Amino acid sequence: MAPVQTRDRIGGKDAGRDSVIRTLSRILPRRAQTIMDPLDLLVVAPHPDDAEISVGGIIAASRAQNLRVGVVELTDGEPTPHGTHEKRAAETAAATEILDLTWRHNLGLPNRSLQADLGARRVLAEAFRLTRPRVILAPWREDAHPDHVAASQLCDDARFWAKLSRSDLAHERYHPPMLLHYYSIHLRIHPAASVVFDISDHIEKKMNAVCAWHSQLIEGRPDEHPTVIDDIRDRARYWGWTIGRRYGEPLTNREQVGIRRLDDLF
Ligand SMILES: [Zn+2]
């Protein structure tokens, strides 16, 4: 019955079989992609290691709550001094398994020359529509790496486009209700965080995921203290200190964070 109903809907009973098949082949893949349970949290990472370095603890804490967490990488991050596509693929798989991510995808945009242009906006908006996250974590715009600056703008633009009706974007329209920013490590600034997430119970998992990026953070780097790995852990300790906990990760929200109970503050 299903093929007949589909055929009638698409072309009427005079439509030829080949025509129907051609039509279905255009429609079905797009519809199939929409069959996905929404994510609770989606991290937008300009490069494959950014999510683990900046918010690996928030990801681990959220998965421990059984929330659905995804990472969308904008570029493959290569070339780098010690990386290869093969190493990156293996490291991505390892980090994904450690954090037990629900979903991970790479959009294949150009590394080192990422632009907040219309083509990039389209593919990221379609990723937002596909995954329908309740919260997006995006890179903060104040950064030394041009890809991160572009990615920050791109997240705002794609979030806006994702809600548009009467567009030719794939998937149903969707407006992600909350977008917060995380900080990367290229610029030695002290960010004005508006939220610090307590990751004390998840610091070891975060660091295991960070160390999965061996070609980026360990290989070919000096091994005396403080290493890059030490720096990442020590920053988490510092942010934990700011809220009276052992470890934390800072976020900024340009809009307001609403609460419903006084103990949401503690
Ligand atoms: Zn990056």
Residue 259 inside a domain? The answer is no
From CA 13, how far away is CA 4, in angstroms rounded? 9
The pLDDT assigned to 34 comes to 56
User: How many domains in the chain?
Assistant: 1
Whether the pLDDT of residue 266 is over 80: the answer is: no
What is the CA(20)–ligand 1 centre distance, in A? Answer: 45
Amino acid letter, 246: R
Residue 15 inside a domain? The answer is no
Whether the pLDDT of residue 198 is over 90: the answer is: yes
Report the CATH number at residue 235: 3.40.50.10320
Residue 19 inside a domain? The answer is no
Least reliable range by pLDDT among 27-41, 107-121, 152-166: 27-41
Residue 47 inside a domain? The answer is yes
The pLDDT assigned to 121 comes to 98
- Under a CB-based contact definition with an 8 Å cutoff, are residues 167 and 221 in contact? no
Residue 265 inside a domain? The answer is no
Residue 12 inside a domain? The answer is no
Residue 6 inside a domain? The answer is no
Residue 226 inside a domain? The answer is yes
From CA 135, how far away is CA 221, in angstroms rounded? 35
15-73 per-position pLDDT tens digit: 444 444 344 444 444 444 557 899 999 999 999 999 999 999 999 999 999 999 999 99
Whether the pLDDT of residue 182 is over 90: the answer is: yes
What is the CA(147)–ligand 1 centre distance, in A? Answer: 7
pLDDT band (50, 70, 90) for residue 257: confident
Domain that holds residue 124: 41-253
Q: What pTM was computed for the model?
A: 0.86
| Mean local confidence (pLDDT), 157-177 | 96
The pLDDT assigned to 94 comes to 97
What is the CA(184)–ligand 1 centre distance, in A? Answer: 7
CA separation (Å) from 100 to 66, 83, 97, 189, 247? Answer: 10, 23, 5, 31, 21
